[in-house]
Structure 1
Amino acid sequence: MRTAEEEQEKLRRFVDEWRSHIWEKLEQFDSTSSQAAARDVGDINEDPVQIVTKPLEGFTVLDLIATDNFPFNKLLIVLAHDCHEILQLRKQALSKVYPRLVVFGLRSASEETALEGELQKTFARSFKFFQDLLEFVSKLRAVLSNLVQQLEAIYSGDTTKSSRRPYAAFWNVHLRTAVHCLAEGFTTLITIDEIVAQNTSIGHSISLFKRMLHSVRSEPSAFAMEPDQVESLDSEVSKVDNVLMGGLFQRCLQEDFYGNLEIQKLKTNRQCLDEILFCVREGLLQSLARLDSLREYPYDREKLFGLIAVWVWHSWMIGDAPEKKLTKLVMELQRRAPVLHLFCNVRLVPLQFLIGHLPSWALSSPIIKEARRDAGVVNTSYLAALDDVLSSHSQTLRSVLVNWLVSFDSTVSPVVQQLAIHAMLGTRFKQLTQGVCLANRLRHILRATIDIHAYLEVPINKEQLKKLRHVAEILKAVEAMFHRRSSETALGLGHMLQLAQSQILRRLSPLKAQLEADLLAMSRSTGVFMLARSLTRSGKDMDTKITDALAAVNVAIKMAEGCSSMQSNVILRLALDVICSPNSKVPDDVASEMMDLCSVIELVADVHNVVKLVTDCSFLYWSRDIMPACFKMLYRKTGEARHLQLVVSAFRDPVNLMITGNADLSVIESYEKEMEEAISNELVAPLCRDIETDLRLHVHSAHLKGAVNINPTKTYGEMRHLAELKYGLELDDIHLPGQTLEQGVDVLEIMRNIHLFVACYTYNLNTQVFIERVSNARNRKYLNTVNVRHVANSIRTHGTGIMSTTVNFAYQFLAQKFIVFSQFLFDDHIKSLLIKEQRFYKEIREKGGKDYPVDRAEKLNKDIRKLGLTDDGLSFLDQFRRLIAEMGNALGFVRMVRLGGLHYCSSASGFLHDLDKEMSFQEASRDAGITAGGVYAGKILDQALDSQKISLEGMDYLNILTTVFSQELRSNDNSHLKNFFLIVPTLTINAVEAMLQAKERMSKRGRDASNGMFTDDGFALGLAYVLKVLGQNKDFDSLHWFDSARHHYLAEKARIEDGLDMDGIGSGMNGLQIWSQKLASISEEEAHNMQLVKHLNT
């Protein structure tokens, strides 16, 4: 009972949330003009209800094909099923497979390279998809194999059994639809091949995942897996790798593609291969005739390439040089379209494809050799042609499309009722196809121009970019128009399709009557004999052809009278292939008209998806570098500001692709943030700047004395009122701090960029000040400083809450630095040197010694320096020292923020009573008989004082930062850190040497003075902090390092002074010569020791 109540409660909450969401959407649809305008240009993905027009068939292929001619039925059912299955798989690939493959491995803009293990995780999350992809490919290959077998059986040349073969009458029928569907299947496989080849993340992730599995296989229990599970997973991954990386189309050129069909049998069936070649030639001629014209259909270029793929397959089958005329036709396509786009940004170069897949005997053709020689010239000419079309014809196309927008809006509008119903439907039908073809042409120009410039590495100039932006705007305007009139289009779509189908019926009806008359005239047998003959295919050949033609006409009429679904259109095309056979009585022009009507019906029936295709600009994601320039152009041309929504809509299309492709949320958010930054930087920021400039000019032109008597509060107040009057802008209230002339560096900026601050500033512990490094101010004659007063001013501006936020940022920074710290000590070279030091120190302790010798520390410094130097001459120990100094600077900044908070609290409470005394202003006000308002004011004051007291007492931030890291860094997982105290002596020597060099550079000029500094207490603070965190203070004290260093350098000082005893040298010239000889005999190391002694004494 409780479970039922819980489910009921879940349903109730779901309904409430859905109702709330719908009401929010409906509130956007207001009757006001402004809301209506927003509705016209709004995001079409935000509609509460979306209209999708799609004819749905309620019958199967078996139900649709039902005539009295049973052999004809069987043949047509098999072909229709195969063709329909291929088209369904292609549709599935467009909506599910291609987007997932294209967006696989996309990273956000902040991630230049994938993090360690990220690709393996991505592949693991998509592994189910890759398994489904294998099933998809297997199913598509099986259907293609079956279609090839059916074509081979239909066109079999076994004339000895022709009287018994049920499809002998089909030998002269050109099954164009079947061959085109075979081309569609090949195109699908090739598209997957090209996406996998161009998206290197797929192959790289599979390789890394397999490598990871090899590691898992050695210790499966550590990953909570059984050995059988690992082997099974490795087998599945290898299967994915072999299928995808081996080339799907290349496998179709091998023998395993044909299943039970003997490959030799297919190669010897010349009639079948010739029929396929005829359909390829005819399809290429028809598509080439429409190419680069306003009659080009959206899928023409894909079909063209599919036919080329069939030609390649045919070249492998015949085993001989291909036909010259068809080869010239293919090379003509290569010349007119040297680059084809299969999906989104996936480009395919036909010539490279032919070189990679044609057999050697076909590649030896002189025509192909010549095309390979002229490939560079063809590409350059194609680029020039596209640029010419963009510059000279794009304006014409834009004008045509603008006229179409106006015409379509007025014709489709429900208020237009002047035309007769048939004329109005015919006009709408024509405008639908015209709009789709125009948009398809513009989209090709946009995508091809951008891609060919990127392919040939030719930059796009500003004028070309401006025209490309105009093309994208028109495309999105077409999409918005279809969306705006979607309801009217949906209401008339069924009638428009019936009108087009009626034109096919009008051409088929006379043909049916003529066939029935011919069959009646030739019939001299009883009905029973006719039925037996139709079942066995015996009798006269002409009689059988007429019977088949009549059955095809009946099927075509039935399909033309029914729903325009994908199944019906496929069956209709196959029936028309039979009807329009070479020996039929159908004129060529009538056959061509019916085929064109079928193409238009298919286009209009799926107009919803077709419009999305021809107006999709998701390929702009890979050319998003042009986005800021496009927005900048919009701002410079004030008259084009109304096009902003269209440009934003074009650049937002990649988001829909990412959502469909199941991309990571971080990638989508990164791209949306990139769009927002481009709009902010190129539109909002310049607009705000220009508005501010205009307001300032207006204000200062009326107050010429503003430069003498500055009153920012009054000036900004006048600007605020003027902005409301002139621009209708509601500016924020003025929040200028009263009588504050200087705030200094803002702590918030330092906190947000603490990684830069600690590297560019040095810390002085005594004076509590940060001083900018000289190297960071090369172009200035002064250095910036940050002290407690600056911090107190920032706290006064932003409040005491920034103190806790600073600690959080410092914690994050220290966590990152401890990772680098651990990696340095984990290095094999460093670890081995420290192990040697540990062994040496242990031997000293066993011998009764207690001081760590200075010579040993200097030797370790030299050994680490031998490991290598950076370009700046820094050793690994120098970088490690800088790391600790930056950690100390971060701690010094936290300490300064704490002191700044105390300074602020003490200044704010200077005129208050002693906060340690218990006193309540609320109680005092109540006792004094003050009104309720005064008592409430006393309560507020008490709360402010309590908050001030808490801030004044504060917390020990340094202790918190120590405790939070101690437990983790002292664990067994970080045992390599236990010898850190042994490298501290070497670090101190390295720090003293670096400080001496830095102080010497302070007195020099030029480039040598760039790295000078006179304080770096951050190193000492960081060193003490690390020892505290690691709990190695006692270990370090046991080294007696400072005593050892003091004794060592005092001894060195005495030895050097004894060697340079001036009393024993004498005077005069002779004494000077003796003193010079002794000074020259001092080694470099002794001179260095003298400097260290001097520094130690100071």
Structure 2
Amino acid sequence: MKQSSLSMFAEDILKDYGSFMEEHDSKLQTLRQQMPDNAGGSQLLTSLTPAIEINYLDDTHNDFLNWHNTRLTESELLANKPLTTLANLCNQCNDLTQTAQQLQLQFVTTSTRLETRAGNGGREQTLYQMSAAIDFFCQIYFLLKRIIVVLQNIWMQLTAYVSNTVNIHEAHLFHVFDAMAELLEQLVVFNELTEQSSLSAKWPLYKKWLQTLLGKSSSSTFEVQGVQSSLDDIDSVISGNIFQMLLVSLLDTKKQMNLKDASVNYITQHSNAYVRQLLTTAIEATQANEWRNYEEPKQLLRLTSFICVLHKLGILLDGKLIKSVLETLSRYQRVPLQRNVFWSPHTFIGRHAKTLLKTQDKAVDCLKQYNASAEKLTSNDLKTCRQLGTQIALWSINMQRCFAAGPINQLKTFAKLILLGQSYGEQVNSLIDGLIRRHLTLALPITKSALFTIYKLLQYLQMLQKIFASNQIVCMRYVSSVLQWQTQKIQHLLLLTKRNILDLKLMQRKMSILTTLKLSERSLKGYPPTRRRLTIVNLALSEFLGKERLLPTDKQKLFKSISMRANNLSRYQQNILGQFDSTQLINNYDSLSISDTALKEYVQQQQNPFLLQNIFAASNKLDKNLALFKVDREAQDESVRSQRIFDWEREFLSNHLEFLLRVEALSHLLLSQDQPFTQQTIDYRLCINVAAIENDGVYNILRDNLENYFTATFYNLTTIAPHDWKSYEKMRHLANKLLQLRPVDDYLPNQIIDQGIDVLQIMRNIHTFASSYAYNMNLQLFVEMQSRNKHLDIIGTRHVANSVQTHGTGIINTTVNFIYQFLRQKFYTFSTFLHDEHIKSRLLKEFRYHADHKHVKPYQSYPYERAESFIKKIRKLGVSQNGETYMDLFRKVITQVGNAVGYVRLLQSGSKNANYRSRSFMSRFNSNFSRCDEKNLEETTQSSIREYEKSVEHLKECYSDNTNYFKLLMQGFQPFLCNPHNHHLKTFFLITPALMMNYIDYRVKEKLKMYKKDQMRCSLFEDGFAIGLIYILNMLNQLSEFHELGWSQTTAQQLQAERLKLKDIMATSESTQKGSPHKANVDEKLLQTVAITERHVNAYEQEYNLLYATLSSAEIFFQ
């Protein structure tokens, strides 16, 4: 008892905490929505910042440079200045490259959003969106101008460096060229993005529109000129002239360089060597995969842009080299840069360095060969994916062993494993990028197998990050030790180099190298060796490696290897955490949104909970990164795929596990299998234990979702089929036993004998109920018309009240909704019958006759003969297999509609009965609990009182007389049925006389069956016809036209005429009998015929009177 009380107390605390968090999140979300959208704000990826990071209290890199500049001689300062300047420029190139990549992705999403809005909202919406994006366009312009300025400064510094009076001839410029080529790559991508974007076509219209507005406004000339200048600047960006702007600016730089012959030769030599290196790298990439440059075109972009820049600067390129470069580049056409952006190196060179191309040079189209080998490459990717999976699994095992043993004892292994993990992450990203670029190049749809491979690779990325994330503290603790170890090795090699210089007594000749070595030592003394410091070290070390043989070849290789390790280890967190921040990966992920069906199938195939968790986590991270570039909230909501993946998995597991429970519950009915192991059963039970899944800051627990689903399912099934409650109780027990799920008990009462037919069972079979039960409006009950049992089922108010008490108050509204759906089907049949040409033409004929004669004085009511003639004509159209005419079938439709409406009335009466029963639990007095706050009662008591008052108000609301379901049913169908386009329904009131005649004939025949034996189907009453007829006439607003027909007067006159006819026959017979007394036998037969006819007329009169009384009562329901 004590334990249960504690558990209840804990549950209450958790519930209060959950409500507090929900309220806090809602308030936070409201504040976010109230903040203005900054469409042009710089959106940078925030996940680059790790959760655990060591920050050292050192100065900025500029202060560091001032610190290590101290205690240097004049020659050392002279050697230090160009190196530090180039290092700063290289760092700026790296920063600008990262910013440009992210702005490229934001530009693509902005362009896509504008194109979508243009299709939906027209020209005005497009102009408005472009105005909102002006700030973003200005950011792009400022970024590109900054890139151009940095590139100009690099060339100026290089020329000043090589023209220095100090003898510094050993400078190796490849590191600078690498940073510059990487920045040129982003510039070319931006150039193609802007040129091929739809914005370039919309910009002239926007510019003209804005100029028109400026002309109409009262702006000053200075303001107009400023806006015009800004528009021209943005125009140069959007029109795709970015690279051309760079080349023009380099012409001005060329005039300021003032190069000497030696300087020109020096730069030409190193430029040709660097171009040769880029060409060799591009060719080597095609050895394993001939089409690798299509899938990873960065080498082509760097090579093409670099030779265009060299050509514009007038740097002479070797003839054979440029021929080889052009031959290599001409093999690549339609190189994919982004989703719908393709680039051709040959065309690019022809535009920006036309003199390099000869007239006979033509581009070679190799896409056919590429397309032919695409299938083989895809199979190789699948094989590589499997190998990567195995390697990453072994790597994760080794990492866990290393963490368990303590990395401080095996720093060498730990360093290798970290670098190996980084390389695996780069391979996975490269494989994803290449797979998607291949499909873009060849314009092939992404197949199911390719999509499965991509998401398998995303799982590998998440697995790599999870290993580091779960051991962040250990990694951060020992990576510093590994870095110190690597820097100590570099310092040792630097010391050996200095000793060699001193031993060789080459102090004066090698002064520049010695100064560079001192600079490297001082740079490595600061901790941590950040990327900016290591850039200086790389430039400094490249001064002497490979030139003067100051170190043996093996030592030089070791030097380069250690330097590379230190570079990678210094930013291992950014390399690992930034795998999902790759702009190319984010862009590819956004372009995969069309493959939701295949992705759904892939997710449903994952039986391992860890794989599921990796899919959810990877999608969530990419959704977060992608949301940074989707400024529009609607675009953000559409792009969230992690929630859709979770919903797919939850729906699949719910259905699959429910089927499993049903099979287990019915397993005693199945025959035992001779070979049970031949049946392949997929077990997804392990997926229940998947950890909590984050989605936009909200955590979803799959186990809780499944428990809630089974709780609701078992409750609903038990309420629908109370007689089968044991089966669902067994399924609940199996869910706890087999799946370790704990669905909440439904606490429903079991079915009893006096329950009658349940309301939900009738609701489920409302179509059968309306056709097989007869309704009595006065007694308010339904009686079965035909049954194989000895007794007929009866449904009354008491049975409905029992069902309402069992299922609760919500069953009334649900049942009315089901009846509404049933009436929709019947009204479709009703409209189809009246729309038939045979029926419509005859009704139009009757309408014209009635319109012509209703104002004529002798015409008092609708003629009986015309209704009788109408029925005869309908009979000629044919009969069914049961001998029923179309009029009989139409009457049945009207009757079923009336039965459904009568059932709604029975539900309302039964709910009032249940309300009366529930009233016994309430106080007899009009209790007012408003003073409970003054009594200082316990919070639990006050909450109970509030819940009681809510229940009472709910009873009043559900069962009050103000809830008129008839009015609701009329309001649901009246707008459609009274639509002016439904002309065929306007003549419905003219078919009512024929319908009533058909109904009276049917009722008379049914009552005659009561006196006969072996009649399988008969009914004593059927008031559904009258209710249905009045219900339809009210909805069609034809009740007054129906009364104008005066059909009751017509039938009374017809019956009176029948009686007068019988009297005339009797009078004629009496007169004849007086004249000839020998005809007694004939008179006796005549009297029997007259008696039968008179009984027949009386029966018709009684049925007509009952019908008119029922019609009058039914009209009251719809007033």
- TM-score, reference length from structure 2: 0.57
**Structure 2 counterpart of 1:687, from 650, 653, 660:** 653
User: Residue deviations 1:1010-1035, cap 9 Å, x none?
Assistant: xxxxx9x99x99999xxxxxxxxxxx
Match of 2:271 in 1: 276
- 2:147 and 2:945 map into 1 onto residues whose CA distance is 83
Matches within 5 A, 1:206-245: 206=203, 209-210=206-207, 212-214=209-211, 216-217=213-214, 220=217, 232-233=226-227, 235-245=229-239
Shift of the 951–47 alpha-carbon distance from structure 1 to 2, 3 Å rule, reads farther
Distance 1:82 1:365, change over 3 A: farther
Q: Deviations over 1:196-248 (max 9, x none)?
A: 45654x54675564355256446548xxx989767755643442232243332
Match of 1:659 in 2: 627
C-alpha distance in 2 between matches for 1:994 and 1:241: 63
The equivalent residue for 1:4 is none
Q: Does the aligned pair in 1 maintain the 2:661–2:735 contact within 8 Å?
A: yes
Q: Is the 1:497–1:601 Cα contact (8 Å) retained in structure 2?
A: yes
Which aligned pairs between 1:396-435 and structure 2 lie closer than 5 A? 396-411=387-402, 413=403, 415-416=405-406, 421=409, 424-435=410-421
- 8 Å CA contact 1:696–1:719 kept in 2: the answer is yes
- In structure 1, C-alpha distance between the alignment counterparts of 2:22 and 2:916, rounded to whole Å: 58
* 1:414 CA displacement: 5.4
SS in 2 for 1:909: helix
Q: Is the 8 A contact 1:189 1:248 kept in 2?
A: yes
SS in 1 for 2:631: coil
Q: 2:121 aligns to what SS in structure 1?
A: coil
Gapped regions of structure 2 (runs ≥ 5): 1-16, 26-44, 672-716, 767-799, 819-899, 929-940, 972-978, 991-1028, 1039-1119
Amino acid aligned to 1:571? I
Partner SS, residue 743 of structure 2 = coil
Q: 1:246 aligns with which of 226, 231, 240?
A: 240
Map 1:932-1081; keep pairs closer than 5 Å.
Answer: 943=953, 946-948=956-958, 952=962
Aligned to 2:109: 103
Note closer, same or farther for the CA distance 1:453–1:248 as it changes in structure 2 (3 Å cut): same
Query: Are positions 1:494 and 2:480 aligned together?
Result: yes
TM-superposed CA distance for 1:657, in Å, is: 2.0
Give yes or no for the alignment of 1:483 onto 2:466. no
1:350 Cα offset (Å) = 5.9
Report the secondary structure of 2:406's partner residue. Answer: coil
Show CA shifts across 1:286-319 (max 9, x none).
Answer: 676578889x99x997466434421232233448
Question: Aligned to 1:241, what secondary structure does the other structure show?
Answer: helix
Deviation at 1:388, TM superposition (A): 3.9
1:609 to partner: Cα distance: 1.5
Q: Deviations over 1:918-962 (max 9, x none)?
A: 9997345999xxxx999999988974564257661679999xx9x
Change (3 A) 1:427 1:994: same
Question: Closer, same or farther in 2 for the Cα pair 1:922/1:128, shift >3 Å?
Answer: same
Taking the aligned partners of 2:524 and 2:947, their CA distance within structure 1 comes to 85
Distance 1:937 1:636 in 2: 46
In 2, are the aligned partners of 1:338 and 1:379 still within 8 Å (CA)? no
1:908 alignment counterpart: 911
Q: In the superposition, relative to structure 1, how do residues 352 and 740 fare at CA in structure 2: closer, same or farther (>3 Å)?
A: farther
Distance in 2 of aligned mates of 1:628 and 1:305: 35
The partner residue of 1:386 within 370, 377, 387 is 377
Q: Which residue of 1 aligns with 2:1003?
A: none
Counterpart in the other structure of 1:375: 366
- Note the alpha carbon deviations across 1:438-481, whole angstroms, 9 max, x for none: 22112211221133123313345544444443322222211211
| Change in 2 beyond 3 A, CA 1:319/1:471 | same
1:397 positional shift: 2.6
Computed over aligned residues only, the root mean square deviation of the Cα atoms, in angstroms, reads: 5.7
Q: How far apart are residue 326 of structure 1 and its match?
A: 5.2
CA distance, structure 2, for counterparts of residue 430 and residue 77 of structure 1: 31
Residues of 2 paired with 1:267 and 1:251: CA distance? 26
Please list the CA deviations of residues 817-862 of structure 1 after superposition, one character each: whole Å capped at 9, or x if unmatched.
xxxxxxxxxxxxxxxxxxxxxxxxxxxxxxxxxxxxxxxxxxxxxx
TM-aligned CA deviation for residue 662 of structure 1: 5.0
Q: Is the 8 A contact 2:162 2:169 kept in 1?
A: yes
Counterpart amino acid of residue 396 in structure 2 = L
Residue in 2 that maps onto 1:262: 255
- Worse overlay, 283-292 or 428-437: 283-292
| 1:309 counterpart (301, 305, 321) | 305
Q: Map of 1:731-810 to 2, 5 A cutoff?
A: 731=743, 739-741=758-760, 798=810
1:517-544 Cα distance to aligned partner (Å, 9 max, x none): 555776xxxxxxxxxxxxxxxxxxxx4x
Equivalent-residue separation in structure 2 for 1:183 and 1:568 (angstroms):
21
Counterparts of 1:170-189 in structure 2 under 5 Å? Answer: 170-171=168-169, 173-189=171-187
Q: Equivalent residues in 2 for 1:887-898 (5 A)?
A: none
CA distance, structure 2, for counterparts of residue 623 and residue 938 of structure 1: 53
Distance 1:113 1:182 in 2: 40
Q: Residue 699 of structure 1 contacts residue 718 of structure 1 at CA under 8 Å; is this kept in 2?
A: yes
C-alpha separation between the residues in 2 aligned to 1:724 and 1:112?
54
- 2:319 aligned residue: 323
Query: Greater Rg, structure 1 or structure 2?
Result: 2
With over 3 angstroms needed to count, the CA separation of the structure-2 counterparts of 1:437 and 1:698, relative to structure 1, is: closer
| CA-to-aligned-CA distance 1:307-356 (integer Å, 9 cap, x gap) | 44212322334487863335535755887x9887878x697656366456
- Closer/same/farther in 2, CA of residues 426 and 270 from structure 1, 3 Å limit: same
Which position in structure 2 is the counterpart of 1:570? 535
Q: Distance in 2 between matches of 1:321 and 1:1023?
A: 92
Deviations, residues 666-708 of structure 1 (Å, cap 9, x unaligned)? 2222232x54344434x333332232223223333447999xx
- Corresponding residue number in structure 2 for 1:51: 52
- Considering Cα pairs closer than 8 Å and 6+ residues apart, tell me whether 1 or 2 has the greater RCO: 1
Partner of residue 638, structure 2 = 670
Q: Percent identity of the aligned residues?
A: 15
Task: Please tell me whether the aligned partners of residues 401 and 438 of structure 1 are also in contact (alpha carbons under 8 angstroms).
Answer: yes
Question: Which residue is equivalent to 1:140?
Answer: 147
In the TM superposition, what are the counterparts of 1:864-875 in structure 2 within 5 Å? none
Question: What's the offset of the Cα at 1:89?
Answer: 2.1
Say if 1:955 and 1:570 are closer, same or farther in 2 by CA, change over 3 A: same
Tell me the residue number matched to 1:648: 616
After superposition, the C-alpha distances for 1:959-1018 in whole angstroms (9 at most, x for unaligned) are xx9xxxxxxxxxxxxxxxxxxxxxxxxx97x8759999xx9xxxxxxxxxxxxxxx9x99
CA shift in 2, pair 1:57/1:187, >3 Å: farther
Instruction: Sort the Cα spacing of 1:686 and 1:939 in 2 relative to 1 into closer, same or farther, 3 A.
Output: closer
Aligned residues: 754
**Mapping of 1:708-719 within 5 angstroms?**
711-719=723-731
Aligned to 2:687: none
The verdict on how the C-alpha distance between 1:452 and 1:48 changes in structure 2, with shifts beyond 3 A counting, is: closer
Quote how far apart the aligned CAs of 1:655 are: 1.3
Q: Which moved more, 1:645-654 or 1:299-308?
A: 299-308
Q: Which amino acid aligns with 1:909?
A: K
Q: For 2:921 and 2:461, how far apart are their aligned partners in 1?
A: 71
Offset from partner CA, 1:137-169 (integer Å, 9 cap, x none)? 22221111011122233445xxxxxxxx524x2
Supply the distance in 2 between the matched residues of 1:390 and 1:252 (Cα, whole angstroms): 39
Contact 1:123 1:205 (C-alpha < 8 Å) held by counterparts: no
CA distance in structure 2 between the aligned counterparts of 1:267 and 1:899, rounded to whole angstroms? 106
Residue 620 of structure 1 deviates from its aligned partner by 2.0
Question: For residues 436 and 269 of structure 2, what CA distance do their matches in structure 1 show?
Answer: 39
2:715 paired with 1:696: no
Alignment-mate amino acid for residue 638 of structure 2: S
